[in-house]
Amino acid sequence: MSRRVFLGGSAAAAAAVLARPGFAQTPVDRVPLRWLAGPPAASTGSSFGVPWPRGALREGTPLALTSDGNPVPVQSRPLAFWPDGSVKWTAHAVTGGVTGESLELRRGTPAAPAAPVTAKRSGGEVVLANGVLAVHVATSGGVVLPEISRGERTTATDGTLLLRLQDDPERPENHQRLTGAVQQVEIEQSGPVRAVVKASGTYRAGGRSILPWTLRIYLGAGDESLRLVHSFVWDADEKRDFVSGLGMSFSVPMTDAAHDRHVRFGTAEGGVWGEAVRGLTGLRRDPGRAVREAQVEGNATPPVEQWSEKVRAGYQQLPLWNDYTLFQESARHFAIWKRVGERGSWLKHAGSGERAAGFGYLGGVSGGLAFGMRDFWQRFPRSIDIRGAARDSAEVTLWSYAPQAAAMDLRTYDTEAHGLDLAYEDVQEGFGTPEGVMRSTEMTLWALESTPSRDQVAALSRAQTDPPQIVAEPQTYHAAGVFGRWSLPDRSTPDRAALEDSISRDLEFYTGQVDQREWYGFWHHGDVMHTYDADRHEWRYDVGGFAWDNAELGTDAMLWYAFLRSGDPRAFRLARAMTQHVAEVDTYHSGRFAGLGSRHAVVHWGDGAKEARVAESFTKRFAYYLTADELLGDVLRSTLQADRTLLEVEPLREVLPPQDEAPTRLRIGPDWYALVSNWLTEWERTGETKWRDRIVTGMRDIATFPAGLFTGEAGGAVGFDPETAHLTNFERGDFEGSRNLSMAFLGEQILWETLDLVDVPEFRQVYLDFAKYGQATPEEKRARYGRDFDANLFPTIYSRVSAWAGEQLDDPALRRRGWREFLDDPDGRPWPAPVRVGGSAVAAPVEEIPVETTATNDAAQRTLAIISLLAIAPQEAP
Query: pLDDT (tens digit, 9 = 90+) per residue, 631-665?
Result: 999 999 999 999 999 999 999 898 899 999 999 99
As a whole number of angstroms, the distance between CA 803 and CA 50 comes to 30
What's the pLDDT at 731? 79
Please give the Cα distance from 334 to 349 (Å, whole number): 11
Q: What is the pLDDT of residue 732?
A: 74
Question: How far apart (Å, rounded) are the C-alpha atoms in residues 623 and 579?
Answer: 7
What was the pLDDT predicted at 15? 27
Report which DSSP code applies to 111.
B
Write the pLDDT tens digit of every residue in 774-821: 999 999 999 999 999 998 899 999 999 999 999 999 999 999 999 999
Closest CA to 531 of 555, 556, 508: 555
What SS3 state is found at 586?
A: coil
Helix, coil or strand: residue 17: coil
Residue 1 has pLDDT above 70, yes or no: no
621 vs 564: CA distance, rounded Å: 13
Tell whether the model's pLDDT for residue 842 goes beyond 80. yes
Strand partners, 651: none
Name the β-bridge partners of 855. 531
Q: Give the three-state DSSP class for 341.
A: coil
Q: How far is the CA of 123 from the CAs of 132, 155, 559, in angstroms? A: 22, 22, 47
For 718-733, what is the mean pLDDT? 92
Q: What is the pLDDT of residue 26?
A: 54
Pairing mode, strands 70-72 and 75-81? unpaired
In this predicted structure, what is the pLDDT of residue 463? 94
User: Would you tell me how many other CB atoms lie within 10 Å of the CB of residue 204?
Assistant: 17
Residue 660 and residue 719 in contact, taking contact as beta carbons nearer than 8 Å: no
pLDDT of residue 68: 96
pLDDT for res 4 = 33
Residues 143, 199: Cα–Cα separation, whole Å: 11
Average pLDDT over residues 255-271: 98
Residue in 796, 776, 768 with CA at minimum distance from that of residue 709: 768
Q: Is the pLDDT of residue 19 over 60?
A: no
CB 159 within 8 A of CB 93: no
Which whole-number Å values give the CA distances from 384 to 43, 298, 375, 460, in the listed order?
22, 20, 14, 16
The amino acid at 608 = G
Q: Mind listing the pLDDT tens digit for each residue in 190-244?
A: 999 999 999 999 999 999 999 999 999 999 999 999 999 999 999 999 999 999 9
Position 367 scores a pLDDT of 97
In angstroms, the Cα distances linking 69 to 103, 340, 436 are 8, 53, 47
pLDDT at residue 514 above 80?
yes
pTM (2 decimals)?
0.95
Q: How many residues does the chain have?
A: 878
CA distances for 278 relative to 32, 285, 321, 325, angstroms: 51, 15, 6, 17
Say if residue 461's pLDDT is above 70: yes
Alpha-carbon gap, residue 169 to 146, rounded angstroms: 33
Q: For CA atoms 301, 304, 309, 311, give the dihedral sign.
A: positive
80, 684 contact by CB (below 8 A): yes
Average pLDDT over residues 79-91: 98
pLDDT over threshold 90, residue 740: no
pLDDT of residue 714: 80
Asked if residue 835 lies in contact with residue 829, where contact means CB atoms within 8 angstroms, the answer is: no
Residues 241 and 244: their CA atoms lie apart, in Å, by 9
Neighbouring residues of 186: CB distance < 8 A, sequence distance ≥ 6: 197, 198, 200
Q: Check whether 588 has a pLDDT greater than 80.
A: yes
pLDDT of 73 higher than 60: yes
| pLDDT given at position 5 | 33
pLDDT mean over 38-62: 95
3-state secondary structure at position 816? helix
Kindly report, residue by residue over 752-782, the tens digit of the pLDDT: 999 999 999 999 999 999 999 999 999 999 9
Q: Is 421 exposed, middle or buried (0-12, 13-18, 19+ CB in 10 A)?
A: exposed
Q: How many CA atoms lie within 13 A of 440 on its CB side?
A: 24
* CA distance linking residue 281 with residue 274, whole number of Å: 12
**CB of 353 closer than 8 Å to CB of 334:** yes
Least confident piece of the model among 5-14, 166-175, 520-529: 5-14
| H-state helical runs in 215-321 | 289-297, 309-314
CA atoms within 13 A on the CB side of 445: 30
What is the sign, positive or negative, of the torsion defined by CA atoms of 149, 150, 152, 153? negative
Pick the CATH number of 116-278+319-411+433-468 from 1.10.1660, 3.40.190, 1.10.287, 2.70.98: 2.70.98
Strand partners, 335: 327, 352
Q: In the predicted model, what is the mean pLDDT of the chain?
A: 94
Look at residue 6 and tell me whether its pLDDT is greater than 60: no
Determine what percent of the chain is predicted with pLDDT higher than 90: 92
Q: Annotate 114-178 with DSSP letters as a single string.
A: SS--EEEEETTEEEEE-SSEEEEEESSBS-SEEEEEETTEEEEEEEEEEEEEESSTT-TTSEEEE
Give the pLDDT band of residue 736 (cuts 50, 70, 90). confident
- Of 550, 474, 558, nearest in space to 511 by CA: 558
- pLDDT score at 27: 67
Question: What are the backbone angles phi and psi of residue 514, rounded to the nearest 5°?
Answer: -55, -45
Helix H, strand E, coil C: the string for 676-728 is: HHHHHHHHHHHCCHHHHHHHHHHHHHHHHCCCHHHCCHHHHEEEECCCCCCEE
Closest CA to 678 of 610, 796, 595: 595
Q: What span, in angstroms and rounded, lies between the C-alpha atoms of 620 and 681?
A: 10
Q: Answer whether residue 16 shows pLDDT above 90.
A: no
The beta-strand segments (E) located in 167-301 are: 175-190, 194-205, 208-220, 225-233, 242-253, 261-267, 272-276
Enumerate residues 6+ apart whose C-beta is below 8 A from 773. Answer: 780, 781, 784, 785
Q: Indicate the pLDDT class of residue 21, thresholds 50, 70 and 90.
A: very low
Alpha-carbon gap, residue 567 to 572, rounded angstroms = 8
- Rounded Cα–Cα distance for residues 219 and 44 (Å): 9
Rounded mean pLDDT, 560-576: 98
DSSP-derived secondary structure for 447-478: EESSPPPHHHHHHHHHHHHS---EEE-HHHHH
Quote the pLDDT of residue 22. 41
Q: Is 394 helix (H, G, I), strand (E, B) or coil?
A: strand
Distance CA 804, CA 485 (A): 10
Contact 76, 83 (CB under 8 A): no
d(CA 513, CA 519): 8
Domain ranges in the chain with CATH number 2.70.98: 116-278+319-411+433-468
- Name the band, by pLDDT with cuts 50, 70 and 90, for residue 52: very high
Distances (CA, A) of 620 to 117, 424, 835: 30, 26, 33
